[in-house]
Amino acid sequence: MSDLNNKVALITGAAGGIGLGLARACADRGMRLILSDLDGVRLTDTVTGLRDEGNEVLGQQCDVRDLAEVAGLRDEALREFGSIDLVCNNAGIGLAKPVLGCTTADWHLLFEVNVTGVINGIRTFLPVLIDQGGGHLSATASLSGLVGDPDLAIYSGTKFAVVGMMESIAIEMQRDHPAVTVSVLCPGPVATGLVMNSARALTDAGTSASDNPDVADYLAAGMHPDDVGRLAIAGIEAGDFWLLSHPELTFEIAEPRFEAMRRHQLHIPQDWTRQ
């Protein structure tokens, strides 16, 4: 997807963090934006800020767990802009907790947001891209979608699911609809508000995140979300499937895992904190 100028980008989970980084990178390329987030107040502030910088931006609150709301987001985008050229299914939450301490609410919430939310985006927007003869579909997974870590069983499970779905869809699109391209973003540590925002969502769902300072510190020292956004959009422009914010770290972690698989053994990373 080489020429993004004046094209339309739709990004979920865009009120902050990686979603906002993606939005800024798209805006830098002259794209028109439709941004969504569950937090309507933060979304309004984000849209206002981007408009003040001279960008054409539409914001709509949306709960990606609700297929009808995602369909409404699609309809509003098409009403406003007439097409959707780039879809970034980015909305997600995290949880770092030993598996035996995880509640039913923990399991349901993370899979509903991180997996069902992406599924709803695929079901809603992929037909649009196919019908209009082209476009790009992306989703945000994680380095934790490539290797498992202790205390991240639920989070890692959701992100492995996203990686698998996007890889399969990418192959199908090359076979059946080559004008539609696909990518998956697998960031390493990124300095976002993931921990705080996730804790709020977990509390609303009747559960709570455990206090895990190692994960919080790991993320706080990570890459700026704007840098992740720039790398991701540059990769989409270049036609990449794997959008890796930390390629050296990714291969440093993933390659020993595959070596261990050849030996039919469990690979245990030395650094047990991942995004």
3-state helix, strand, coil in the chain (%, to 5): 55, 15, 35
Nearest alpha-carbon partner for 75 in 63, 66, 83, 86: 83
Residue 218 annotated among the catalytic residues of the structure: no
Residues comprising the chain, all counted: 275
- 83-100 burial, b for 16+ CB within 10 Å, e for fewer? ebbbbbbbbbbbbbbeee
Q: Do the strands 135-140 and 32-37 form a parallel or antiparallel pair, or are they unpaired? A: unpaired
The residue type found at 78 is L
In angstroms, the CA 97 to CA 52 distance is 40
User: Rounded to an integer, what distance in angstroms lies between the CA atom of residue 22 and that of residue 9?
Assistant: 9
Please tell me whether residue 135 adopts helix, strand or coil conformation. Answer: strand
What is the residue-wise DSSP string for 221-239? TSB-HHHHHHHHHHHHHHT
Residue 94 backbone class (left: φ over 0; alpha: ψ -120 to 50; beta: rest): beta
What separation, in Å, do the N-terminal and C-terminal C-alpha atoms of the chain show?
A: 28
Catalytic residue, candidates 62, 141, 148, 155: 155
Catalytic residue positions, numbered = 155
